[in-house]
Amino acid sequence: MEMKILSKSGDEILLLAVTNDFANKGDYFVIEDFNIGKKLLVQFYEEEYFSSSSLVDEIIKDEIVSQFSNENIFDPLEINNLSQIIRDVRIFKTKIRASIDSENHLSTEVDWVPSRVNSKIIKIGMKELNSMLNKNMHYPISLGKCGSDNQSFEIYAEDLDGKLNIITGKKETGKSHLSKILMKSLIQYGAYVIVFDLNNEYSGLSYNLDGRPSSISEKLLLLNPGIELKFNLTYFGKPSISNMLRNALELPSASLREFFRVWDALENKKVLSIPELGKAFSTWTINELVRDALLSRFHIINSSRLFVSNDAREKGFKFEDVIKTKPKGAAMIVNMSRISPVVRRMIVELVMNKLIELLEKSLIPPVFIFAEEAQLYIRDTYWEDLITRMRHFGIYSTFITNQPDAINDTIYRQVDNIFLFNFTNDADLEKISKVSLLDGATIKSLVKTLSHRNCLAIGKAVSNLPMVIKVNPVDVLTLGETKKFFK
């Protein structure tokens, strides 16, 4: 028996399904109206029993009779079997996602209602959907399986190029696992990636599960602050350092003006270095409050070990050098697991400022940023401004967080792709529903029931057709798992 249309309200169509009809949440159906030769693409997002007051009364009566009667009722017409089938009839709630034109391409124009009588409803898989999308792209990223028929699902690296992405969900649902798949694919295709790694979990990508070096091991650069990651003051220059003092270390503007004077004087004498800055802050004739402010920031900078002590003799880390030595793509993994929150903010500020400067001068190609636990160092005003301009510079960010409400609405409204793992908290889901292109009913129904390493993909990467994906395992050490006392 085929499914039938029960009702339509807005963009929602209810389908009547009997017991042998089966689908997973997130599956797609095509409704074809033979009378007018048109087709609709709808997505199944919720399942309920068909219920009416008379049917409920009937169930209650039958249960009471069966409890108190031992007689075998003669039923030659098998009415009892029919009654049981009716009780099991379900309603598939679906949302209209697109119409399908005569050439089998998708269109957003839906200005008609399918016939209840003359419509045929069939479930379609990823192969048929992909043929309708007709994507002409060249760098596929295999994410996992999709649909009740477990067909393989892929997006394209071009879908992440120039885009802003968010990967979010509860802890231990598989967010970092997905980000590693995306990162690995990007550098295999020759892209340059910078990872702010808060839990030192990306270093394992250098090795396969059997302990041998992975296929991307030579493209990975592990940067520990104070060891591999040490900068030259002159490499950054006054603008980047002053931005770090203002945004990361919250230096007041009066003290910042004195800092400019000190910097200019040392630069003119060609003695600019960390020790010389410290001496100048201590000995210059300046207001005592300003001196205290400058010295307190100097001690933080000095103890961070992010800068070489002698700019003339020590070269320090340079992003453009990495790109010259690794012309076929690389990942620079900044290990921020053992540093204080203040130093974290300093690193992010310095890195972002320097990347923008290099990109504006066309000294490096565009860069992909993966920001793990982004909620811990995204500062509202700074990131709002930066996100607005990032894609014009050539910085394409992916935020990975378990706190969607920590990211400002201004950032959300510019997001191109969201990968949603399991959430049960309505406040979190409400936040995402308000700013994503997908309706709240679909998000709440699908995301609450997602199992481990299953995600709902929304946005341009999936051609604005929401997809429930079972994410692939990876063949490298992923680390990052929660350490437990009881093994």
Total residue count of the chain as it appears in this document: 487
Alpha-carbon distances, residue 15 vs 30, 35, 43, 87 (angstroms): 12, 19, 11, 16
* Averaged pLDDT, 246-250: 89
CATH class of the region 4-50+89-133: mainly beta
Q: At residue 223, does pLDDT exceed 70?
A: yes
CA 280, 281, 282, 288 torsion: positive or negative? positive
3-state helix vs strand vs coil in the chain, percent to 5: 40, 25, 35
Cα 359 vs. chain centroid, distance in angstroms? 24
Q: Which two tokens stand for residue 70?
A: 């031992």
Dihedrals φ, ψ of 146, to 5°? -140, 140
Sequence-ordered list of residues with C-beta below 8 angstroms from that of 378, at least 6 positions apart, any chain:
371, 399, 406, 407, 411
The pLDDT tens digits of the residues spanning 404-462 come to 877 777 777 888 899 999 888 777 787 787 777 777 888 888 888 888 888 999 988 88
Low-confidence winner among 12-16, 54-58, 85-89, 470-474 (lowest mean pLDDT): 54-58
The pLDDT tens digits of the residues spanning 174-215 come to 888 899 999 999 999 999 999 999 888 888 888 887 778 888
Dihedrals φ, ψ of 252, to 5°? -60, 155
Which pLDDT belongs to residue 66? 66
The pLDDT tens digits of the residues spanning 124-183 come to 888 888 888 878 888 999 998 887 778 888 899 999 998 889 998 888 788 888 999 999
CATH fold label, 140-146+150-222+318-471: Rossmann fold (3.40.50)
Which pLDDT belongs to residue 83? 62
Which pLDDT belongs to residue 264? 93
How many Å is the maximal CA-CA distance in the chain? 108
Low-confidence winner among 78-92, 195-209, 228-242, 381-395 (lowest mean pLDDT): 78-92
CB 196 within 8 Å of CB 369: yes
Number of H helices and number of E strands within the chain?
14, 18
Structure confidence at residue 70 as a pLDDT band (50, 70, 90): low
Low-confidence winner among 29-43, 77-91, 404-418 (lowest mean pLDDT): 77-91
Q: How many CB atoms lie within 10 A of CB 473?
A: 10
The pLDDT tens digits of the residues spanning 327-377 come to 999 999 999 888 898 999 899 889 988 998 999 899 999 999 998 887 666
